[in-house]
Amino acid sequence: MLHPADLAVGAVIVGYGMWRRCHRRPKTIEIDMPYLLNVPAEIRLLIYEFVFNEPDQQSASSFLRPLLTCQQIYHEAYRYAFLRSRFVLPVDSPAGPFLSPHILRLPSSKLSYLRYLEITWSCTFCNIHEISRLFVELSRGPLRLDQFTFSIRLPACKNPFCSKLAPVYRETREFGRYVMEELPLMDNVQKIVIPSPGISIKKSYQMLFAPNKPCLKLGGSADAPTIRLSAKKLGNWRYTVIRDGTDVRRWKLELTHYQETKKKRAT
């Protein structure tokens, strides 16, 4: 049998071990450990370039997540992140004095680094007055975009474009006329991409967006309306239809500056 004194000694040893485990001091970070903020700033900038590489199909929220690490990393790395991130922002209500999403009201020092932006028009109606307001806001802001994509995704807004009579409807004709004839040059945008808003008929797409095809013009009176084909009075952009196979719904219209196009041909 164990002597009571031995049991007492054993209990003391076990208790002391448990106390040491609960009061163990945390390890301190040594200055020579591979800790990011201990790395020279020049090396950190190279790391940021590697981390914020091409985003591919990655969403902007996932691509920018490393910026949430700490304030110092944010201020050092946001330039690399904004330059390569592809922002997709919705506009779902035309109410209010401004149509552009709230993120575009960041300080100009940050917005000037954005290069790729997509606005998804999620309003119920394709109101050309509101759409033109949006383009004006973007053209007067601090953005310097390599590519701006404007897409219509809401089914209610796409329905007129999906119809066989798409070139006849007023809102589709107004949208096509604004894009092809009235949209002014934007000095701060090098290229505008407009994916097909659900059009599945080749002839309908050509009447609305093909630069070398005529469009429908409605005239006459309410009692005796007339419809005729008329050549588009193209604006100051260079208009190119990019065909991705035979599915018209995957086609897109690209608007580029003539000067930029000449530079690419020269190189």
| Residue pLDDT, tens place only, 120-129 | 998 888 889 8
Phi and psi (nearest 5°) for 201? -105, 125
Residues 221 and 94 in one domain: yes
**Structural domain includes residue 125:** yes
- Mean pLDDT confidence for 179-208: 94
**Structural domain includes residue 21:** no
**Structural domain includes residue 54:** yes
Residues 172 and 72 in one domain: no
159-183 burial code (b ≥16 CB/10 A, e <16): ebbbbeebbeeeebbbbbbbbbeeb
**Structural domain includes residue 27:** no
Which is it for strands 215-220 and 191-195: parallel, antiparallel or unpaired? unpaired
Per the structure, the count of domains in the chain is 2
Read off the tokens for 148.
Answer: 């701006």
**Structural domain includes residue 233:** yes
* Rounded distance between C-alpha atoms, residue 207 and residue 23, angstroms: 78
Instruction: Note the pTM of the prediction, 2 decimals.
Output: 0.77
Residues 191 and 250 in one domain: yes
Q: What is the pLDDT of residues 115-151, one digit of tens each?
A: 999 999 988 888 898 899 889 888 888 889 999 999 9
- Residue numbers of the domain that contains 132: 86-267
Residues 124 and 200 in one domain: yes
